[in-house]
C-alpha cells in the first residue's frame, strides 16, 4: 500500500497531472444492520494519458464511527476506441462497532461511455477480518475469504449542456463491492455550477432475496457533494 501511495505521489509530482477532487456527505442505511452519516473525500489523478490513479476516504458518523472505508485504484486504458480500461483497486472497509473489517482486491474491465452506456465486469477477492486486526488494510488471509463476481451497466440517458442523469446497476463502487446475492440499482447525476465545478448526487439501493425467488428492497445510500476539476 505504501509503495502504491509513493507511486501516486511521484506521478502527481513529476507529470502535468490532471486532478479531479470531490467531497460529499451522505447517508447509508440498511434495516437492522447499520444507519450512519458519511463524509467522503476522493481524488482522481491522470498523470499521463491512458493512465489514472484514484484514491478516497469515507468517514462514518453516528454508527461505526471513524474511518468507514478507504480505496486506492489504478486504471489503464487498453483499447481506446471502446474506452476499454483495466482497473485494479484495493479497498478497505471497517465496522468499528462489531470489530470487523474487510479488505478487497478488485480486478475489473470497464468499457465506455459509448452512446451514454458504460459497462464493467470483473472479480473481487474479499477478505473479512475480525477481532484485533480488523482495522488493518494489510491482512490478506482469512478463514472467510471468498471470490465474487462484479458487474456494472449504466446509461446516461439525459445529457444537457449543464447537467446529466445516469441510471443502471453496479455491484461495485470506490468503497464497496456488493455480494452477488444483492441486486444493486443506482441513479446519479451532476449539475455544472461553473467551469470546473459540479454539484453531484447519487441514490442507490439493493434488492435482496431475489436469488431465493423472494425479493425486497434492502439498503439505501444517498450522497450529495461537489466535484472540482483542478
Contacting residues toward another protein, per CB under 8 A: 30-34, 93, 95, 97-100, 102, 123, 126, 128, 130-131, 142-149, 176-182, 206, 208-214, 216, 218-219
DSSP code at position 142: -
Least distance in angstroms from the C-beta of 25 to another protein = 19
The count of C-alpha atoms lying within 13 angstroms of the C-alpha of 182, restricted to the half-sphere facing its C-beta, is 22
Measured from the CB atom, the residue of 165 and 185 that comes closer to another protein is 185
**Positive/negative CA dihedral, 161, 165, 166, 171:** positive
Question: CB of residue 180 vs another protein: minimum separation in angstroms?
Answer: 4
Q: How far is the CB of 124 from another protein (least distance, A)?
A: 9
By beta-carbon proximity to another protein, the closer residue of 46 and 176 is 176
Q: Which is nearer to another protein, 126 or 152 (CB)?
A: 126
Residue 122 in grid coordinates: 470483473
Cis peptide before 186, with omega less than 30 degrees from 0?
no
Whose Cβ is closer to another protein: residue 146's or residue 229's? 146
Residue 189, CB-side half-sphere exposure with 13 Å CA sphere? 13
The least CB distance from residue 164 to another protein, in Å, is 26
Residue from 220, 166, 229 nearest 27 by CA: 220
Least CB distance from residue 201 to another protein, whole Å? 22
Closest CB 156 distance from another protein, rounded Å: 21
CB of 69 or CB of 202, closer to another protein: 69
SS3 85: strand
Q: Whose Cβ is closer to another protein: residue 31's or residue 196's?
A: 31
User: Whose Cβ is closer to another protein: residue 22's or residue 63's?
Assistant: 63
**CA nearest 1: which of 145, 140, 156, 165?**
140
Q: Quote the CA–CA distance of 223 and 50 in Å, as a whole number.
A: 29
8 Å CB contact between 188 and 222: no
C-alpha–C-alpha distance, residues 163 and 37, integer Å: 26
* Residue 32 beta carbon to another protein: minimum distance, rounded to whole angstroms: 3
The length of the chain, given as a count of residues = 230
Amino acid at each position: 500500500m505504501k509503495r502504491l501511495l509513493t507511486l501516486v505521489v511521484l506521478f502527481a509530482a513529476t507529470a502535468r497531472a490532471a486532478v479531479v477532487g470531490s467531497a460529499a456527505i451522505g447517508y447509508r442505511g440498511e434495516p437492522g444492520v447499520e444507519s450512519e452519516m458519511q463524509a467522503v473525500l476522493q481524488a482522481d489523478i491522470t498523470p499521463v494519458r491512458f493512465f489514472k490513479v484514484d484514491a478516497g476516504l469515507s468517514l462514518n458518523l453516528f454508527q461505526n464511527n471513524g474511518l468507514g472505508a478507504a480505496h486506492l485504484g489504478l486504471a489503464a486504458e487498453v483499447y481506446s476506441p471502446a474506452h476499454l480500461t483495466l482497473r485494479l483497486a484495493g479497498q478497505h472497509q471497517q465496522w468499528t462497532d462489531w470489530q470487523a473489517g474487510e479488505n478487497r482486491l478488485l480486478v475489473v474491465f470497464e468499457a465506455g461511455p459509448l452512446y451514454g452506456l458504460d459497462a464493467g465486469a470483473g472479480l473481487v477477492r474479499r477478505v473479512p477480518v475480525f477481532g484485533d486486526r480488523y482495522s488493518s488494510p494489510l491482512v490478506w488471509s482469512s478463514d472467510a475469504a471468498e471470490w465474487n463476481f462484479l458487474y456494472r451497466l449504466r446509461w446516461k440517458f439525459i445529457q444537457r449542456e449543464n447537467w446529466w442523469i445516469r441510471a443502471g446497476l453496479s455491484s461495485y463502487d470506490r468503497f464497496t463491492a456488493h455480494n452477488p446475492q444483492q441486486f444493486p440499482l443506482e441513479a446519479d447525476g451532476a449539475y455544472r455550477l461553473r467551469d470546473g465545478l459540479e454539484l453531484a448526487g447519487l441514490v442507490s439501493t439493493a434488492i435482496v432475496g431475489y436469488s431465493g425467488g423472494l425479493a425486497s428492497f434492502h439498503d439505501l445510500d444517498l450522497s450529495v457533494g461537489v466535484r472540482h476539476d483542478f
